[in-house]
C-alpha cells in the first residue's frame, strides 16, 4: 500500500482514475480476439478505419 500511496491520494484529490486507459485496452483486446488468424493487414486497417471494431 505504501507504494501506491500517492496514486490513492490523487484519486481523492482529483477524482482521476485510469478507467479510460482500461477501456481502451479492452477495445484492443476485443479487436485482437475478433480478428484472430486474419493475415491480410490491409483488411484489418480498412476495418479499423470503417469503425467495425
Per-residue pLDDT at 53 exceeds 60 = no
Residue-wise pLDDT tens digits, 5-52: 988 888 898 887 888 889 998 988 888 887 777 777 787 778 778 775
Number of domains, the chain:
1
* Whether the predicted model's global pTM rises above the 0.75 cut: no
> Which value, in Å, is the radius of gyration of the alpha carbons in the chain?
17
pLDDT at position 52: 55
Helix segments in 1-53, DSSP class H: 5-14, 19-34, 41-50
| Structural domain harbouring 17 | 5-50
Within 8 A by CB and 6+ apart from 44, the residues are: 35, 38
Amino acid at each position: 500500500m505504501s507504494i501506491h500511496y500517492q496514486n490513492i491520494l490523487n484519486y481523492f484529490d482529483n477524482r482521476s482514475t485510469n478507467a479510460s486507459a482500461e477501456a481502451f485496452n479492452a477495445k484492443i483486446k476485443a479487436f485482437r480476439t475478433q480478428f484472430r488468424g486474419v493475415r491480410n493487414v490491409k483488411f484489418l486497417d480498412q476495418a479499423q478505419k470503417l469503425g467495425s471494431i
